[in-house]
Structure 1
Amino acid sequence: MLELRGVTSRYGPVTALDNVDLVAEEGRVTSVLGANGAGKTTLLRTVSGLHRADSGTIRFDGQDITKLSPDRMARAGLAHVPEGRGVITELTVRENLRLGALGRSTHREAVSLDEVVDLFPILGERSHALAHTLSGGERQMLVIARALLATPKMLLLDEPSLGLAPRISAQIFGVIRLLVEEHGLSVLLVEQNARSALSIADLGVVLGLGKVVACDSAEVLSGDENLRHAYLGY
């Protein structure tokens, strides 16, 4: 579904991605792992059009999207949830959710508000609360739910567990897996918590200083002790 070939992205003289090849298959969770500064966030920003690749090709669902703008990427079926839980704090939970449907992709059957509330019941309970009153975990649920209302074919998630309590992180990872298994969504997940990411992933890609240093099934990567110690921190 998503294919990167020879993708290089730079910030001035700094090469953040160096000739990256990556394939994320349809209906699967592909986890991108690595230490801080490995290029994980730049990878998602480059795929979603927020940062333009300097060279290489990005194809999504058979279409060359290398030079598309972020809004056209969204219409093509990509939904990017960046790190930071960017909710509009002056709006209510319900109003934030309704914004997600404005750029809705037409490639899949529309996702309803009731469906995302079923996934995250707390959002239904707090639908009239202002977003600034939400906890960190609730904000993370809100931004994921808002992205789902755009009816994407692939969800790009950047560090969804960052700063969250283990119980909330486990809940969010569980929903991600559910979205793949029961709703047919494809997910490209960037995550610092390698153990949790690999527990729900089908495929893992490890970045080191902007290069792909390993790519294999999540099971194989989890069992590679040398790789875990060198790049994954556990």
Structure 2
Amino acid sequence: MLTISELSAAYGPVRALDRVSFTAERGRVTAVLGANGAGKTTLLRTVSGLHRADGGTVELDGHRLDQVPADRMPGLGLAHVPEGRGVITELTVEENLRLGGLGRGRRVDGADLERVYELFPVLADRRAATAHVLSGGERQMLVIGRALMARPTMLLLDEPSLGLAPRIVGQIFELLRGLVESESLSVLLVEQNARSALSIAHRGVVLNLGRVVADDDAATLAADDQLRHAYLGF
């Protein structure tokens, strides 16, 4: 379980997170929602050690993360897929995947690769191709697969649907829900498309100007007309 308590972060004089507190339970999808500038990406960057917190704590399964360098996070079970589908285009699909396994500090074996290829058959078909030939959807699958190579217990995903066709978004979201149900993986999902995110999430947290304004099960948030119109845009 990921426990975030009174977490605050700033960029110079601008406070991006203001005493944010919530939990993301094991084996569930927790969606973090809100308008642009609400603090969603900063939240993930602070949890994963890419941005230093000004106060508060982050714990994963009882281990404090808020003072841990970003490069040690995979060894503690946390993987972060930032916005932007950052693959190394000069490397092959398989080489990109193998890099993900190195983050856990152990040798990558064939079972790790086959597990990802079973989840993403299109990557298996393109394993020897360089990543620059992949479509946007295939690159998103590759960065998720690369994160899964470290066998995390908590996966942070930032805007995985951005710029993708609805059909591809649906495939990726269904895969995430399946991973959570079959492997007890926890997912903290930042997503601008609130309707799609709530359709697969178990719980939702709504941010506004760096503060939590709602924290409830996904179905309750989706049914709250006032909340949806004020903060979620649907």
- State the SS of the aligned residue for 2:73: helix
| 1:231 maps onto 2:212 in alignment | no
How high is the TM-score relative to the length of structure 2? 0.97
Give a deviation string over 1:39-80, Cα, whole Å, max 9, x none.
000000000000010011111110111110012222100000
Task: Report if the CA contact (8 A) 1:111-1:150 is conserved.
Answer: no
Deviation at 1:111, TM superposition (A): 6.2
Task: State the partner residue of 1:48.
Answer: 48
How high is the TM-score relative to the length of structure 1? 0.97
**Where do 4+ consecutive residues of structure 1 move more than 4 Å?**
none
Task: State the partner residue of 1:185.
Answer: 185
Deviation at 1:204, TM superposition (A): 0.2
Q: Read off the aligned partner of 1:129 and give its amino acid letter.
A: A
Task: Report if the CA contact (8 A) 1:77-1:105 is conserved.
Answer: no
Q: Read off the aligned partner of 1:215 and give its amino acid letter.
A: D
Task: State the partner residue of 1:215.
Answer: 215
Task: State the partner residue of 1:37.
Answer: 37
Task: State the partner residue of 1:69.
Answer: 69
Task: Report if the CA contact (8 A) 1:37-1:209 is conserved.
Answer: yes
Rounded to whole Å, the distance in 2 between the matches of 1:32 and 1:111 is 32
Give a deviation string over 1:133-155, Cα, whole Å, max 9, x none.
10000000000000000110100
Q: Read off the aligned partner of 1:14 and give its amino acid letter.
A: V
Give a deviation string over 1:115-162, Cα, whole Å, max 9, x none.
111111100011111101100000000000000001101000000000
Measured on the aligned residues, the alpha-carbon RMSD in Å equals 1.2
| 1:16 maps onto 2:54 in alignment | no
After TM superposition, the structure 1 = structure 2 runs for residues 1-234 of structure 1, keeping only pairs within 5 Å, are: 1-104=1-104, 112-234=112-234
- State the SS of the aligned residue for 2:97: helix
Deviation at 1:105, TM superposition (A): 6.6
- State the SS of the aligned residue for 2:205: strand
Instruction: Name the CA shift for 1:8/1:111 in 2 (closer, same or farther; >3 Å).
Output: farther
When the two structures are aligned, how many residues end up with a matched partner?
Answer: 231
Rounded to whole Å, the distance in 2 between the matches of 1:223 and 1:160 is 24
Rounded to whole Å, the distance in 1 between the matches of 2:122 and 2:183 is 20
Percent of aligned positions that are identical: 68
Q: Read off the aligned partner of 1:173 and give its amino acid letter.
A: F
Q: Read off the aligned partner of 1:152 and give its amino acid letter.
A: P
- State the SS of the aligned residue for 1:16: strand
Give a deviation string over 1:64-116, Cα, whole Å, max 9, x none.
1111001222210000000000000000111101111101278xxx9611111
Q: Read off the aligned partner of 1:53 and give its amino acid letter.
A: A
Rounded to whole Å, the distance in 2 between the matches of 1:111 and 1:16 is 41
Rounded to whole Å, the distance in 1 between the matches of 2:206 and 2:186 is 19
- State the SS of the aligned residue for 2:228: helix
Instruction: Name the CA shift for 1:19/1:77 in 2 (closer, same or farther; >3 Å).
Output: same
Q: Read off the aligned partner of 1:118 and give its amino acid letter.
A: E
- State the SS of the aligned residue for 1:36: coil
- State the SS of the aligned residue for 2:53: coil
Rounded to whole Å, the distance in 1 between the matches of 2:222 and 2:105 is 35
- State the SS of the aligned residue for 2:174: helix
Rounded to whole Å, the distance in 2 between the matches of 1:105 and 1:17 is 32
